[in-house]
């Protein structure tokens, strides 16, 4: 078999031959090969994570009209590695009165909840850890571990600020999980499968962002909220709760929270690309080889990450009551309406051509968006009149 | 494939082991000079007053309950969504009625002002 046509399989076969040649049993050799693959995969993700620190700092600098790190090495590329060394040799301060086991487990689970997502990401048809037939449920389940790590960190830190930050963050994360799950149902409906590879494969002709732009938007908004990034970074309201749930963490434990957040953003950018922007499909370019396809997926993940950064550095933090009201009174009903319309159209137009279905899906989304915007305009008009009208008699009374 | 979940299991183990190894390495090479002031709870220089396990707003609990209801019911929707392509129109409409019941529940919660941050 040609190496460039299927690099993972060829390498695995070679390793299997090597291990069985050393006298190992078939099962042990297979497990060892898989273990090596996993270690390589996770190491690559962690190296990407280090580079994400550099990307984040460079991009935020450009957004704020600064230069960013530019002293350590070319373009400041050595800077994130210096940061890592600094985190390693910093003293780990464990405050008195913390719950030691939970306190130390929280940062590990925080980055763990992101790393395990890369087990199901299809980088190419032949470069995928495992194509679970319940891939999207696995994504939701891994997200729940991230929520767990935050409440663990806040609860065990023995600090009021940490606890309050964790409460806010968890309230936001669990609320925004509902529109996210409903938005995940839409690619499931369109592709007829929950497997990530099946969803990628089904988008060969038409990316789902054209079929359901509203679902892509809902997924992006709820992903930003799940990440706890601005405008939804309530847990890190500096003037209110200092640093939120990770206030008592220092050194490498803080480093994992930070790294986990960046990798989480990158990973959700990747899922956005896979679920709505065609995965490894890019105008036939993926046929050049699996490594090109993997580069396409990572490129789309970077684009998604850039969009999330763009949102973060443009918008300001919103209040928690606004945030929860936006979710429960706007995103949840909207996502349920989009799901119902998509399911109905998908069934009614089952026998028509792809183009008829695509155009009608797109138009239905435009129609929903237009109705929603009209309702919001009406609401804001009545709210504005309510605020402005009582001002009138007050002005007259002063004369 | 029977190996799928074995692979996931191995991935979970490595996913815990590598971050834990980094923390252990940092613990080995970092200085350890604790003192009571350094180990005190961080509150911007203020002395901690009272218990650090504060009472929280009941509103968080209500949002937790609402989340629980919706999350359980959206999980029921996944099998329906997967098999949607093969279902007859009647079964699809049944699913939509199920979602409408969810929406009615949301409307009830909304009318009862459980979604207000009081």
d(CA A357, CA A123): 28
- Per-residue pLDDT of A303-333, as tens digits, reads 999 999 999 888 888 888 888 888 888 899 9
- Per-residue pLDDT of A81-129, as tens digits, reads 888 888 888 888 888 878 888 888 999 999 999 999 988 888 888 888 7
**A258-272 CB burial, b ≥16 within 10 A, e <16:** bbbbbbbbbbbbbbb
- Per-residue pLDDT of A343-356, as tens digits, reads 888 888 877 887 88
Torsion (CA) A50, A56, A58, A61 in degrees, nearest 10: -150
CA distance B19 to chain A (A): 6
Q: Is the pLDDT of residue A398 over 70?
A: no
pTM for the model stands at 0.89
Percent of chain A residues topping a pLDDT of 90: 12
- Choosing among A252, A257, A331, which should be mutated to test the B contact, i.e. which has the most B CBs within 10 A? A252
- The per-residue pLDDT for B55 is 75
- The per-residue pLDDT for A266 is 92
Write the DSSP string, A282-348: STTGGGG-HHHHHHHHHHHHHHHHHHHHHHHHHS----HHHHHHHIIIIIHHHHHHHHHHHHHHHHH
Domains of chain B by start residue, with CATH = 3-111 (1.20.58.1610)
Percent of chain B residues topping a pLDDT of 70: 92
- The per-residue pLDDT for A395 is 54
Q: What is the mean pLDDT of chain A?
A: 85
- The per-residue pLDDT for A220 is 92
Q: What mean pLDDT is predicted for residues B45-56?
A: 71
Q: Which residue of A has its CA nearest to B49?
A: A160
- The confidence band for A219, taking pLDDT boundaries of 50, 70 and 90, is very high
Name all contacts of B102-106 with Cβ < 8 Å and 24+ positions apart: B102/A336, B102/B70, B102/B73, B103/A333, B103/A336, B105/B69, B106/A328, B106/A332, B106/A333, B106/B70
- The confidence band for A156, taking pLDDT boundaries of 50, 70 and 90, is confident
d(CA B25, CA A181): 38
- The per-residue pLDDT for A306 is 92
- Per-residue pLDDT of B13-47, as tens digits, reads 888 898 899 888 888 888 888 888 777 777 766 77
Separation of CA A26 from chain center: 38
d(CA A107, CA A190): 37
CA angle A131, A132, A134 (to 5 degrees): 140
Domain boundaries, chain A: 1-85, 90-342
d(CA A34, CA A38): 6
Residues of A in contact with B115 (CB under 8 A): 324-325, 328-329
- Per-residue pLDDT of A18-54, as tens digits, reads 888 888 788 888 888 888 888 988 898 888 888 888 9
Cβ atoms A158, A170 nearer than 8 A: no
Residues of A in contact with B96 (CB under 8 A): 340, 343-344
- The per-residue pLDDT for A319 is 82
SS (H, E, C) A206-219: CCHHHHCHHHHHHH
d(CA A158, CA A166): 12
**Closest partner CB to A178 (pick from B16, B57, B71):** B71
- The per-residue pLDDT for B102 is 86
Look up the ipTM and state it: 0.87
Which residue did the predictor score with more confidence, A236 or A355?
A355
SS (H, E, C) A159-177: CHHHHHHHHHHHHHHHHHH
CA angle A156, A257, A163 (to 5 degrees): 30
- The per-residue pLDDT for A284 is 76
- The confidence band for A394, taking pLDDT boundaries of 50, 70 and 90, is low
d(CA B116, CA B109): 10
d(CA A104, CA A108): 7
Cβ atoms A108, B23 nearer than 8 A: yes
Q: Is the pLDDT of residue A370 over 90?
A: yes
Q: Poorest-confidence range of A280-289, A390-399, B54-63?
A: A390-399
- The per-residue pLDDT for A397 is 52
Q: What mean pLDDT is predicted for residues B106-113?
A: 87
**Cα within 13 Å of Cα(A141), Cβ side:** 9
Q: Is the pLDDT of residue A205 over 90?
A: no
Q: Is the pLDDT of residue A234 over 80?
A: no
- Measured N-to-C along each axis, helices A332-348 and B89-111 cross at an angle, to the nearest 10 degrees, of 170
- The per-residue pLDDT for A391 is 59
Q: Is B35 helix (H, G, I), strand (E, B) or coil?
A: coil
Cβ atoms A164, A241 nearer than 8 A: yes
**Cα within 13 Å of Cα(A106), Cβ side:** 29
**Closest partner CB to B11 (pick from A87, A116, A192):** A116
Q: What mean pLDDT is predicted for residues B67-82?
A: 85
Cβ atoms A316, B103 nearer than 8 A: no
- Choosing among A44, A108, A222, which should be mutated to test the B contact, i.e. which has the most B CBs within 10 A? A108
Listed residue (B117, B63, B106) closest to A334, CA to CA: B106
Give me the residues of B, 51-80, that contact A with CB < 8 A. 52-54, 56-57, 60, 63-64, 66-67, 70-71, 74-75, 77-78
Q: Poorest-confidence range of A59-63, A128-132, B17-21, B78-82?
A: A128-132
d(CA A38, CA A210): 34
Q: In this complex, do B117 and A325 lie within 8 Å of one another by their Cβ atoms?
A: yes
- The confidence band for A207, taking pLDDT boundaries of 50, 70 and 90, is confident
**Closest partner CB to A329 (pick from B25, B100, B115):** B115
- The confidence band for A13, taking pLDDT boundaries of 50, 70 and 90, is confident
Helix-strand-coil split of chain B, %, nearest 5: 65, 0, 35
How far is CA A350 from each of CA A346, B2, B86, rounded to the nearest angstrom?
A: 6, 34, 10
- Measured N-to-C along each axis, helices A135-156 and A160-191 cross at an angle, to the nearest 10 degrees, of 180
Q: What mean pLDDT is predicted for residues A50-59?
A: 89
């Amino acid at each position: 078999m040609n190496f460039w046509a299927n690099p993972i399989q060829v390498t695995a076969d070679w390793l299997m031959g090597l291990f069985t040649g050393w006298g190992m049993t078939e099962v042990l050799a297979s497990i060892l090969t898989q273990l090596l693959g996993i270690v390589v995969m996770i190491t690559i993700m962690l190296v990407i994570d280090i580079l994400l620190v550099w990307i984040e700092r460079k991009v935020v600098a450009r957004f704020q009209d600064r230069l960013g790190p530019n002293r350590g090495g070319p373009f400041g590329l050595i800077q994130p590695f210096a940061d890592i060394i600094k985190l390693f040799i910093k003293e780990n301060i464990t405050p008195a009165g913390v719950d030691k086991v939970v306190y130390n487990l929280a940062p590990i689970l925080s980055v763990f909840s992101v790393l395990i997502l890369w087990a199901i990401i299809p980088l190419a048809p032949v470069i995928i850890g495992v194509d679970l037939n319940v891939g999207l449920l696995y994504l939701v389940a891994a997200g729940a571990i991230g929520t767990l790590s935050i409440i663990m960190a806040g609860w065990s830190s023995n600090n009021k600020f940490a606890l309050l930050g964790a409460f806010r963050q968890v309230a936001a994360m669990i609320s925004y999980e509902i529109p996210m799950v409903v938005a995940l149902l839409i690619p499931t409906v369109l592709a007829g499968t929950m497997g990530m590879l099946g969803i990628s494969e089904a988008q060969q002709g038409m990316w789902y962002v054209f079929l359901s732009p509203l679902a892509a938007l809902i997924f992006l908004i709820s992903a930003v909220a799940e990440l706890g990034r601005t405008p939804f970074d309530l847990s890190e309201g500096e003037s209110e709760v200092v640093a939120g749930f990770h206030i008592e963490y220092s050194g490498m434990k803080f480093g994992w929270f930070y790294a986990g957040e960046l990798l989480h953003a990158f990973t959700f950018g990747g899922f956005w690309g896979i679920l709505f922007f065609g995965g490894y499909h890019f105008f036939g370019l993926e046929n050049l080889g699996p490594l090109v396809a993997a580069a396409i997926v990572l490129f789309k993940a970077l684009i998604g990450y850039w969009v999330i950064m763009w949102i973060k550095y443009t918008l300001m933090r919103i209040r928690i009551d606004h945030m929860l009201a936006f979710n429960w009174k706007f995103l949840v009903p909207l996502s349920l309406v989009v799901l119902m319309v998509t399911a109905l159209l998908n069934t009614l137009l089952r026998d028509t051509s792809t183009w008829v279905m695509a155009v009608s899906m797109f138009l239905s989304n435009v129609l929903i968006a237009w109705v929603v915007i009209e309702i919001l305009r009406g609401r804001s008009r009545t709210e504005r009149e309510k605020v402005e009208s009582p001002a009138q008699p007050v002005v007259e009374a002063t004369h | 494939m029977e190996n799928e979940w074995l692979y996931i299991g191995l991935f979970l183990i490595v996913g815990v082991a590598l971050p834990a190894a980094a923390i252990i390495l940092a613990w080995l090479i970092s200085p350890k000079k604790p003192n009571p002031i350094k180990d005190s709870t961080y509150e911007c220089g203020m002395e901690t007053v009272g218990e650090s396990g504060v009472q929280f707003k009941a509103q968080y609990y209500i949002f937790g309950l609402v989340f629980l209801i919706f999350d359980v019911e959206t999980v029921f929707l996944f099998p329906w969504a997967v098999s949607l392509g093969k279902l007859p129109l009647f079964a699809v409409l049944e699913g939509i009625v199920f979602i409408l019941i969810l929406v009615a529940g949301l409307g009830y919660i909304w009318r009862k002002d459980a979604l207000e941050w009081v």
